Structure 1
Amino acid sequence: MIIVLFVVILWYGGLFFQSFFLHRYAAHQVFTMSKTMERVTFVLTWFFQGSSYLSAYGYGIMHRMHHAYTDTEKDPHSPSYDSNLFAMMWKTKTIYQQINQQKIPVDSKFTKNVPQWKSFDSYASSRFSRLLWIAFYILFFAYFTTALWQWFLLPIALLMAPIHGVIINWFGHIYGYVNYKMTNTSKNLFPFDFLMMGEGYHNNHHKHASSANFGVKWHEIDVTYQIIKVLDFLGFIKLKPISIQK
């Protein structure tokens, strides 16, 4: 089952760097890293996200806007203001591209210390780069596919980052349970987040946005946070102190 293993690696590899680098570092800066480590992580994010690569700059700013305007008309992605998930993701894509291309004004409070590597992003986000990844995925599937049904996994490989976004930004505001009563619709998708490596504890995250650990209850194990602790112990990053208020 080489194809299944390949998609699983892309799923969790891309998800980890989206959560670790784009979300917890670029948007929330819950830890610090050297410029060299930052550049290495840029490249690894591109490697694992491939054709659906997301810029740390665009993602970081847009996510800060999401927290500032959650479930309002200014929210870049909210089920409360979009008729379906496809409409929401199209709106998200448009705002993300406008931020990256600096076509819309952005308040300075959203841009402060957001990592940016313009020369790399211009390539990694280019149509040329995305087409190369698409060609590679198709060739990989053509060589290793052993059953017709495996081809249905190809769109997942091609659109990995948007799919991750849909799960959290759409379903994470509709389904699940809450630990904290809030003025927004954020919810925790799973008691143990095996699918999204901790990103599914969305209600917890909206309550404690500056915390590196998205889990609160004993069963809410945040896999990404466990990896972050190891990287902190090894000296690759410097984790900031966590302050959780019940």
Structure 2
Amino acid sequence: MAVIIFVLVLWYGGLFFQSFFLHRYAAHQVFTMSKTMERITFILTWIFQGSSYLSAYGYGIMHRMHHAYTDTEKDPHSPSFDDNMFAMMWKTKTIYQDINKERIEVDQRFTKNVPQWKSFDNFASSRFSRVLWMAFYVLFFAYFVTSAWQWVLLPITFLMAPIHGVIINWFGHIYGYVNFQMKNTSKNLFRFDFLMMGEGYHNNHHKHANRANFGVKWYEIDLTYVIIKVLNAFGIIQLKRIPVRIED
């Protein structure tokens, strides 16, 4: 039971910070926070994403590119231009690393105000950090596993962020329903997004990219947005009325 709870905490904890910090804050800037809170959130993202930690800078820029070039050859991740999900994610990884290591020139419209903490990112993204987290996961499993099948969950802890990414960027462009007819393949994966905390309302998000709430219909409850509203009410973050737009 401890192993299952542990994996669920990593799944939803890592997913929340990917959605809240990397996606809605770094990429779309739908709310603001103090510099101190931003640094705390960097650290919490590292703790919950662990071995699959993603840089807010690399993620933010790449996601803005995804919106500007959705389902074209310039899209960092599109099922329309990759043979399978593994090819797409390998391409995504390469572009992400090229951005972080400044190996490619990036248009300034994609870099504007994207949060960056270079020294921390260098540590959190290092092989040392990733191996350290993986060793911790293995030790936790070794101590708490009560049935052999639970070891199947171990690789999920290693690759949590890429798994979250492929669910949205591959399946979210192939399966589901649409509320808005658009010139891209974005879909809403679930009527109630219990699995991806609102990220599964992908068609809604592509239509209204700068809305803090990804849900549109009454039954499309965005759990990440619910938490954002609570944090805003307590003054920890400040929701924007007119968010920054990423134009084509």
**Do they superpose with TM above 0.5?**
yes
The residue that corresponds to 1:210 in the other structure is 210
Corresponding residue of 1:164: 164
1:166-245 → structure 2 map (5 Å cutoff): 166-241=166-241
Gaps of 5+ in 2: 244-248
- Quote the sequence identity (%): 81
Deviations 1:162-198 (A, max 9, x none): 0000000000000000000000000000000000000
1:86-119, CA deviations, whole angstroms, 9 ceiling, x for partnerless residues? 0000000000000000000000000000000000
Which runs of structure 1 show a deviation greater than 4 angstroms over 4 or more consecutive aligned residues? none
Corresponding residue of 1:40: 40
> Take 2:83 and 2:163, find their aligned partners in 1: how far apart are those partners?
18
Higher relative contact order (CA 8 A, sep 6+): 2
The 8 Å contact of residues 32 and 239 in structure 1, kept in 2 or not, is answered as yes
**Secondary structure, counterpart of 2:178 in structure 1:** coil
Cα distance in 1 for partners of 2:111, 2:189 equals 29
Alignment partners' CA distance in 1, 2:188 and 2:81? 20
Uncovered stretches (5+) of structure 1, i.e. residues with no partner: none
Q: CA RMSD in A?
A: 0.8
> Structure 1, residues 35-58: CA drift from partner, whole Å, max 9, x if none?
000000000000000000000000
**For residues 31-85 of structure 1, what are the alpha-carbon distances to aligned partners after superposition, in whole Å with 9 as ceiling and x for unaligned?**
0000000000000000000000000000000000000000000000000000000
Supply the distance in 2 between the matched residues of 1:185 and 1:5 (Cα, whole angstroms): 34
Mapped to 1, the partners of 2:141 and 2:158 lie a distance apart of 12
Counterpart for residue 14 of structure 1 = 14
Measured in 2, the distance between the counterparts of 1:94 and 1:142 equals: 33
Counterpart CA distance in 1 for 2:114 and 2:124 is: 18
Distance 1:113 1:234 in 2: 24
Q: Please report the TM-score for the alignment, with normalisation by the length of structure 1.
A: 0.98
